[in-house]
Amino acid sequence: MAERLANRLRAEREFRGWTQAELAARVGVSRKTINTIENGVFVPSTLTALKIAESFERTVEQLFSVIEE
């Protein structure tokens, strides 16, 4: 069974009114990286996942979850 990493980045970002560039600047990565993570194309490293969670003041588990397809 295939597994996929789902995330709530877009919802959390839009809730705060942040652009992808603003979130990228807070995390210290490119907008493209945020974009590919949001779209499920790129699976972030633990370090980046922790930094994203810290930016949103959320836990990694609140932002990312594994979905079985």
Partner 1 sequence: MGDVELVERAEHLGRKRSQLFFVLAMVFFAGQSLYFGAPDATRDSVPRVGAWLILVCLMLLLLATGGFLLSGRKVRHLLNDESARANRVAAQAVGFWATILSLIAVYVESIFDPVTLNEAVHIVGTIGVGAALISFAVRERRAHRLG
User: Of the ranges 1-9, 23-31, 60-68, which one interacts with partner 1 (CB under 8 A)?
Assistant: 23-31
Q: Cβ of residue 66: shortest distance to partner 1, in angstroms?
A: 19
CB 6, min distance to partner 1, A: 16
Sole residue written with tokens 């990493």? 5
Stretch of residues binding partner 1 (CB under 8 A), selected from 1-9, 14-22, 54-62 = 14-22
Buried b (16+ CB within 10 A) or exposed e, 46-67: eebbeebbebbeeeeeebbeee
Please pick, from the candidates 14, 32, 62, 67, the single residue that binds partner 1 as defined by CB under 8 A. 32
26 binds partner 1 (CB under 8 A): yes
Contact assessment for residue 60 and residue 53, using Cβ atoms and an 8 Å cutoff: yes
Tell how strand 3-7 and strand 64-68 pair up: antiparallel
